[in-house]
Chain A
C-alpha cells in the first residue's frame, strides 16, 4: 500500500464529473478529501490523499491526467516564509492537524510538519505577519 497527497486542478469542462467516485470504484483507491472547491461550470480544485496498491495509484493518476485534470504532487501543504514568521505561535491553536506545532517548549519555536498539513489555510488567515501562504 502507498499513500500520496495530491492537488487536482479541474478545468471548467470536468467539474461536473464524479471523479472521486471513479477513483474509488474503478481504481480501488481510498480517497481522503482535505480541501475541495468544485463548482459546476467553473474551475475547481481538490486536495486529496490517495491510498492504494502502487499499480492502482499509477492507473488512477493516469485516468486523472486523461480527464484533463492537472495532477500536482503536494509535498508542501502551505508555504511558510521563515523571514516573516516571528514564532509567536498564534497559528498553533488554529491548526487542526498539529502540522504547525511547538516541539520544544523551552525555545517556543513553531515547527511545521508538512506531512500532516491538509492545506486548510486556517494558518494563512490567522497569521498576523502574513508568513503562511496557500499553495492553492
Chain B
C-alpha cells in the first residue's frame, strides 16, 4: 500500500520506480506480483489520436482604441466570441467561413480550427480579423492583424471530451464506399478501422476511475495539465469484460492545459475526406500503484481488451445498438481480424508508436522528479447512462 504523498516524496527525491503500461506487463510476468507491488511506484499510460471535442480559449490583449469583439475569424476560421471583450473560443472541428465542406462529395476538409491550433502551438503567425458593434468604452469597430501565440495573454486548451476509454471498430457492410471520421471504409467489410492505444490507453488501465479523476495531473501534448471534469458522453454504465474493462466507448475525460507549453508534434490538425477536420492529441496519464488491485488493472494486455465491431453504413448512423462481434486489440494490431469466417484487414487511426513515445517521455519526467502526481479532488461517476436527444415538435 502506498499513498500519493509517499509516491510524490519519492518522485521529488528522484527515487521513484516508474514503468510504462507496456513494461509493467513483462515486469509482473518475470518478477511476480508481490515483488512488482513492492517495487513499482508509478505506471505511465498514453494515447495519441484524433479527438474532435477539443479547442482553446484565447485572450488577445487590448489594442488602442479598445475593441469588444463580436465576430472573429483566425486564418479564416470562426472563433466564438460570445465572451468578454478579447476572449474567444476556437473549436478544433470549425471549418473556414467559406469552406466548401461536402458541397462536392467527398470534401477534402484541408483546413480548420485544429490546423489553426497546430500553427499556434508551432509559434507560427495567424491572421485575426475581428469586428464589433462598438460601444462607448470599446469604440473600435474592426481590426485585421497577425499574431503568434507569444503575443497572446493566455492560450488555454480546454477539451470537453478526450481519451475515450475504448472505441468502436468501424466496418462498412454496404455496397458503396463510406467516408467517416474513422477514415475511408471500403464496401463489403474490406477493411476495419479502430482507434485506441489498447493496453497503453489511460482509462483502459484504470477501468473504474480509481486514480484518474477531477484534478488528476496529465501530460497534454507536452504541457502539464489536469482533468477538469468528466468528459462529455462519459457513460460508464456499459457492458464490461470480467476484468472490468468496458467493451464499448464508456468513460471520457475533460482535459485542460496551457497551450504555450505544448509541442507541435503532439498537437496535429487532421483532415478526413467526406467527414471534416479533427485534432490529434498526444496525452499521457500516470497511474500511482496504490495497492494490489490497481497494479492488477494496469497489467491489462491487448488480448484482454475487446472492442465492438460496428457497421457504419447503417447501425452507427441509425443508432440501432447492433454489434457485429468483438475483436481484441492483439487481433486488431495484427493487421487482420476474422468475423463470421470473413477476413478483414485492420488499420488504426490512433498511433501506438507515438503513444509508446509519450509513455516513455512521461516516465522520464517523473523519474527525474519533474512531474508530480495529484490525488483527484473528486472521482468520476461510475454509473451513468447515455440519454437520447429528444426530437419534439413544438405545437403552436
Q: Which residues of A contact B (CB under 8 A)?
A: 86-94, 102, 105, 107-110, 125-126, 128-130
Contacts and interface: CB of A to CB of B under 8 A. Distances in A.
A12 B268 CA distance: 41
Contacts of B192: 93
Interface stretch (B229-237, B350-358, B379-387): B350-358
A102 B336 CA distance: 12
B278 A93 contact: no
Contact of B347 (A90, A109, A129, A130): A90
Interface SS of chain B: strand
A94 B349 CA distance: 13
Contact of A129 (B191, B280, B346): B280
Contacts of A128: 50, 183, 270-272, 278, 280, 349
B207 interface: no
Q: Report, nearest first, the 9 A-B pairs whose CB atoms are least far apart.
A: A128-B270, A93-B347, A108-B352, A87-B353, A93-B345, A88-B351, A93-B191, A86-B351, A89-B348
A107 B110 CA distance: 29
Contact of A92 (B50, B268, B347, B352): B347
Nearest to A107: B353
B347 to A, nearest CB: 4
Interface SS of chain A: loop
A78 B356 CA distance: 27
A93 B352 CA distance: 16
Contacts of A129: 268, 270, 280
Given A90-B347, A126-B183, A105 B334 contact: yes
A90 B273 contact: no
Given A93-B191, A107-B353, A128-B183, A86 B347 contact: no
Contacts of A94: 184, 191, 347
A88 B191 contact: no
B335 A86 contact: no
Contacts of A86: 48, 268, 280, 351, 353-354
A130 B348 CA distance: 16
A125 B179 CA distance: 11
Contacts of A91: 347
A119 B354 CA distance: 27
A105 B333 contact: yes
A103 B354 CA distance: 16
B193 interface: yes
Contacts of B356: 107-108
A130 to B, nearest CB: 7
A130 B349 CA distance: 14
Contacts of A107: 352-353, 356
Interface string B65-87: 00000000000000000000000
Contacts of A102: 335
Interface string B167-203: 0000000000000000110000001110000000000
Contacts of B48: 86, 88
A88 B271 contact: no
Contact of B353 (A90, A92, A109, A126): A109
B78 to A, nearest CB: 22
A86 to B, nearest CB: 5
A11 to B, nearest CB: 29
B49 interface: yes
A90 to B, nearest CB: 5
A125 to B, nearest CB: 6
A25 B295 CA distance: 71
A89 B347 contact: yes
Nearest to A110: B353
Contacts of B183: 90, 126, 128
A125 B48 CA distance: 21
B349 A92 contact: no
Given A87-B352, A126-B273, 15 more contacts: A86-B268, A86-B354, A88-B48, A88-B348, A88-B350, A89-B347, A89-B348, A90-B348, A92-B335, A93-B345, A93-B346, A94-B184, A102-B335, A107-B356, A126-B183
Given A94-B184, A102-B335, A108-B333, A89 B351 contact: yes
A88 to B, nearest CB: 4
A130 B268 CA distance: 11
A118 to B, nearest CB: 18
Contacts of B335: 92-93, 102, 105
Contacts of A105: 333-335
Interface in B246-283: 268, 270-273, 278, 280
